[in-house]
Amino acid sequence: MAFGFERSIMQSLIVYDSLYGNTQKIAEAVGGDMDGEARVVSVGEADLAGLKDINFLVVGSPTHGGRPTQALQKFLQNMPENSLKNIKVAAFDTRVLASEQGFWPRLFVNTIGYAAPKIARNLQSKGGILVVEPEGFIVEGKEGPLKKGELERASEWAKKICKEAQA
């Protein structure tokens, strides 16, 4: 400690659910480019008690039926009210582009949307401070793989959210 100021190190937690490994890869890419210390954990390993030890939370899920997975929805629902007060948050999902689908799947996606905006609203309802708009990362087909360049885009997104978190 110098001159009475303690340097604040960003403590980030990246929580994800992944069915085919694509969302996990994005979460790991984001965690690898976060400032300070970052832990990347699957939703099954996430501990709600640990939220008090962080100052940044990133949550990601595949989009299924326009929503996050059941496990991630349960994690978000079990978060106590105001548990994210003063914690900066960001949300992402993995998704198939609606524009690359047939008429009915495209209509379905355009009607119900994607998981990331729903995750972001939930995090904000628990007191989180959203620092960037929710982001979607593209998979080619239901099981993937990730579209070329998406891991690099995830790394750039991590740098962007760190910059915004410090603004």
Tens digit of each residue's pLDDT, the chain (167 residues): 333 334 367 899 999 999 999 999 999 999 999 999 999 999 999 999 989 899 999 999 999 989 999 999 999 999 999 999 999 999 999 998 766 766 766 676 667 889 999 999 999 999 999 999 999 999 998 899 999 999 999 999 999 999 998 87
Q: Is residue 147 part of a domain?
A: yes
Count of structural domains within the chain? 1
Q: What are phi and psi of 159, to 5 degrees?
A: -65, -40
141 assigned to some structural domain:
yes
- Domain containing residue 24: CATH number: 3.40.50.360
Q: Tell me whether residue 1 is in a domain.
A: no
Residue at 138 is within a domain: yes
- Domain that residue 144 falls in: 11-157
Whether 83 contacts 127, CB under 8 Å: yes
Q: How many helices (H) and strands (E) does the chain have?
A: 5, 6
Task: Answer whether residue 121 is part of any domain.
Answer: yes
What pLDDT, on a 0 to 100 scale, did the predictor assign at position 27? Answer: 99
Residue 55: inside a domain: yes
Is 32 contained in some domain? yes
Q: In this structure, is residue 166 part of a structural domain?
A: no
pLDDT at 94: 98
Q: What is the pLDDT of residue 41?
A: 98
Question: Measuring CA to CA, which residue among 65, 87, 66, 86 is closest to residue 15?
Answer: 87
